[in-house]
Structure 1
Amino acid sequence: MTPAQESVRITRTYPATPERVWQLWTTGEGIARWWSPDGFTVEVDKLELRPGGELIYTMTATAPEQIAFMESHGMPLSTRSRKRFVEVAEPGRLSYTSLADFIPGVDPYDFLTVVELEAVEEGVRVTMTADAMHDEEWTQRLAAGRANELDNLGRVIDADS
């Protein structure tokens, strides 16, 4: 199967500096505060912020709806995820590949995400562009999950203000 689109692009503007958003995106403490979609938690296991370095984290379903979804699709409640940094240009651009090795019946594959931070009058514009996944359903799940994560990032920024 092939996805109907080649990439997913999501943009948000936050009342913060690029440096603050960079810190939330590139530290274990920052990532643990917002990275996971609603109903999941994240624990950072390894973080090497450099081109070729790894981010390894464990995401665990904690809310009843997410637990039920994971169980109904034959997926474990906790998954260990791996990302490899491609570009690290503080505080404006970060890119990484993600290993999709958790999908039943699908061979593991990497997909690229590029994050761009741009200072604007309102604060910082964050643009996240991710490669489409192996089919439209999983690409839509990716888009919904990433949008939710960016909404969570906004809530953390608002709470810190």
Structure 2
Amino acid sequence: METSPAVRIEQTYPATPERVWQLWTTAEGIESWWAPDGFTVKVNKLDLRPGGELIYTMTATAPETVAFMQEAGMPLSTESRKTFVEVQAPSKLSYSSLADFIPGVDPYDFLTVVEIRPEGSGVRVTMTADAMHDEEWTQRLTAGRTNELANLGKLLQA
């Protein structure tokens, strides 16, 4: 199993740390931006505390996304589980994600750390995630998380 270094993505938004925290830690907030383009997210469970879980269903909805998922032999809807490790409102959130949706790969956990810091008249969000099991999936993770943070930015500017 060849692994890359951790993935690090940074974005600055015209918002307060409290607003970003609210969008990251409530069912309504998560459902409004969390999914990458071509998907929707429905939160099934949210227990925001260390050891608590976020369980949501991500569903491919755009025709090209549906076609990609079918071609890859992956289901159109997957239930995702994250277990919160650290919860420090409104500045730091970390969670372990269960990767149990990859054909031919045994399930494993990987950590994501989100830091939210005031910067100038806005807020800087730094997301650091463990690399996945191979370079292709690490690139997919990076592209997905970059897209999600862009969607968060669109929501904050609306």
**Secondary structure at the counterpart of residue 107 of structure 1:** coil
Question: Aligned partner of 1:72: which letter?
Answer: E
Q: How far off is 1:122 after superposition?
A: 3.2
Q: Is the 8 Å Cα contact of residues 58 and 78 (structure 1) preserved in structure 2? A: yes
The TM-score with structure 1 as length reference comes to 0.97
The C-alpha deviation readout for 1:31-67, integer Å capped at 9, x for no partner, is 0000000000000000000000000000000001110
The TM-score with structure 2 as length reference comes to 0.99
Query: Equivalent residue for 2:142?
Result: 143
Work out whether 1:113 is the aligned partner of 2:112: yes
Q: In structure 2, what is the Cα distance between the partners aligned to 1:97 and 1:6? A: 17
Show the 5 A alignment for 1:79-98: 79-98=78-97
**Secondary structure at the counterpart of residue 37 of structure 2:** coil
Q: Which residues of structure 2 form unaligned runs of 5+? A: none
Q: Is the 8 Å Cα contact of residues 13 and 122 (structure 1) preserved in structure 2? A: no
Query: Equivalent residue for 1:42?
Result: 41
Paired positions, count: 158
The C-alpha deviation readout for 1:45-104, integer Å capped at 9, x for no partner, is 000000000000000000011101100011000000000000000000000000000000
Q: In structure 2, what is the Cα distance between the partners aligned to 1:126 and 1:65? A: 30
Show the 5 A alignment for 1:8-157: 8-157=7-156
Q: In structure 1, what is the Cα distance between the partners aligned to 2:52 and 2:45? A: 9
Q: In structure 2, what is the Cα distance between the partners aligned to 1:110 and 1:91? A: 25
Q: In structure 2, what is the Cα distance between the partners aligned to 1:77 and 1:156? A: 25
- Alignment RMSD: 0.5
Q: How far off is 1:2 after superposition?
A: 1.1
Q: In structure 1, what is the Cα distance between the partners aligned to 2:127 and 2:8? A: 6
Query: Equivalent residue for 2:2?
Result: 2
Q: Which residues of structure 1 form unaligned runs of 5+? A: none
**Secondary structure at the counterpart of residue 132 of structure 2:** coil
Q: In structure 2, what is the Cα distance between the partners aligned to 1:122 and 1:95? A: 25
Q: How far off is 1:6 after superposition?
A: 2.0
The C-alpha deviation readout for 1:110-147, integer Å capped at 9, x for no partner, is 00000000001030000000000000000000000000
After the TM superposition, which segments of 4 or more aligned residues of structure 1 sit over 4 Å from their partners? none
**Secondary structure at the counterpart of residue 58 of structure 2:** strand
